[in-house]
Amino acid sequence: MSTQKIHYSKPEWLRKKITLSSLREVEAIIAKGKLHTVCQEAMCPNIGECFSRKQATFLILGNQCTRRCTFCNVSKETPLSPDPDEPAHVTESVAAMGLRHVVITSPTRDDLPDGGAAHFAKVVQAIKAYDRTIVVELLIPDMQEDEDALRIIARSGAEIVGHNLETVPRLYHIRKGAKYERSLRVLKKLAELNPQVKTKSGIMLGLGEKEEEVTALMQDLLDHECRLLSIGQYLSPSQEHTEVVEFVPPERFDHFYDVGMAMGFHFIKSSPYTRSSYMADEYLKS
């Protein structure tokens, strides 16, 4: 299948410039460790800004996903076996970049018995062995709601564990293999398995959601012990992906921030350029 780049006229607030010099510097560090970043795989619009600040979200367990979500740019080819050297390589890159807050994520690995939970834990342990004061944040798939896998994640030593709802229930057809209620239960189970861990979720706007649906989703998150939230604009990676229904103006992101904070969230990052790991170090400052 071709993935022809999509061409649409973005509004003025969605025209971010990339700093190529800093981009190349961090890409060199990532390439040296034979690693992947979700920044590159998902064609994140913040890649220049984050790389210039020497921030990156490491994509472990390969860059092939076992699901077929129509909004995502991560490869859908057959995944490879986990790399036993990856925890060490990630830690070396963390050290080279001087990171103090590390975000680790993965594609969905339904082919692995534990969904990759043990591998996540090994990466956390390697980073903490290097410097236990580094904050580690995990952004995980739903692990098919396997309690043993979620227990490994919750007790891995990570300070934050995120799992994204992505969109409102009515639009869940874009999340192949995922279920809205299951994702909510995953977040609640993580909080139950380790009350010390902070749970976090993220959603995209611009897919045709209604305001009342977003507000209801926020309440669902609060009801499932999740009080950290990111809200950003969906941008279609190519003509083969789900189309953008609307470019949501910045003031509506501000509105959802105000609504969510009044509802009881501890921290919300809400703007057109927000992604789940964007400015991730700010979430624990609340």
Select the more confidently predicted residue: 74 or 54: 54
What is the predicted pLDDT for the residue at 149? 98
What is the predicted pLDDT for the residue at 238? 60
What is the predicted pLDDT for the residue at 23? 63
Confirm or reject CATH 3.20.20.70 for domain 16-285, answering yes or no: yes
pLDDT band, very low/low/confident/very high, at 236 (cuts 50, 70, 90): confident
CB burial class (10 A; 0-12, 13-18, 19+) of residue 80? exposed
Alpha-carbon distance of 190 to 161, in angstroms, equals 8
pLDDT band, very low/low/confident/very high, at 259 (cuts 50, 70, 90): very high
What is the predicted pLDDT for the residue at 193? 98
What is the predicted pLDDT for the residue at 30? 75
Say whether pLDDT at 5 is over 50.
no
The pairing of beta strand 101-105 with beta strand 228-233: unpaired
Say whether pLDDT at 280 is over 70.
yes
Measured in whole angstroms, the distance separating CA 260 from the mean position of its chain's CA atoms is 19
Query: How is the chain split into domains, by residue range?
Result: 16-285
For residue 200, CA distances in Å to 7, 123, 150, 162, 184 come to 32, 19, 14, 4, 11
What is the predicted pLDDT for the residue at 91? 97
Alpha-carbon distance of 44 to 15, in angstroms, equals 13
- Nearest Cα neighbor of 226 from 273, 278, 177, 185 is 185
3-state secondary structure 211-253: HHHHHHHHHHHHHCCCCEEEEEECCCCECCCCCCCCCCCHHHH
Location of structure tokens 């789940």? 276
Say whether pLDDT at 126 is over 70.
yes
Alpha-carbon distance of 226 to 188, in angstroms, equals 7
Q: What's the mean pLDDT in 146-169?
A: 98
pLDDT band, very low/low/confident/very high, at 1 (cuts 50, 70, 90): very low
Q: Residues within the annotated binding site for [4Fe-4S] cluster?
A: 39, 44, 50, 65, 69, 72, 277
**Average pLDDT across the chain, whole number:** 86
pLDDT band, very low/low/confident/very high, at 4 (cuts 50, 70, 90): very low
Q: Token pair of 251, please?
A: 């003031």
Select the more confidently predicted residue: 12 or 246: 246
Select the more confidently predicted residue: 23 or 4: 23
Say whether pLDDT at 69 is over 70.
no
Q: What's the mean pLDDT in 195-201?
A: 98
pLDDT in tens, 204-219: 999 999 999 999 999 9
Q: Residues within the annotated binding site?
A: 39, 44, 50, 65, 69, 72, 277
pLDDT band, very low/low/confident/very high, at 3 (cuts 50, 70, 90): very low
- Alpha-carbon dihedral 163, 211, 7, 36, rounded to 10 degrees: -10
Task: Give the predicted TM-score (pTM) of the model.
Answer: 0.87
Say whether pLDDT at 73 is over 80.
no
- Of these ranges, 38-42, 98-102, 140-144, 222-226, the one predicted with the greatest mean pLDDT is 222-226
pLDDT in tens, 79-123: 788 899 999 999 999 998 888 899 999 988 888 999 999 999 999
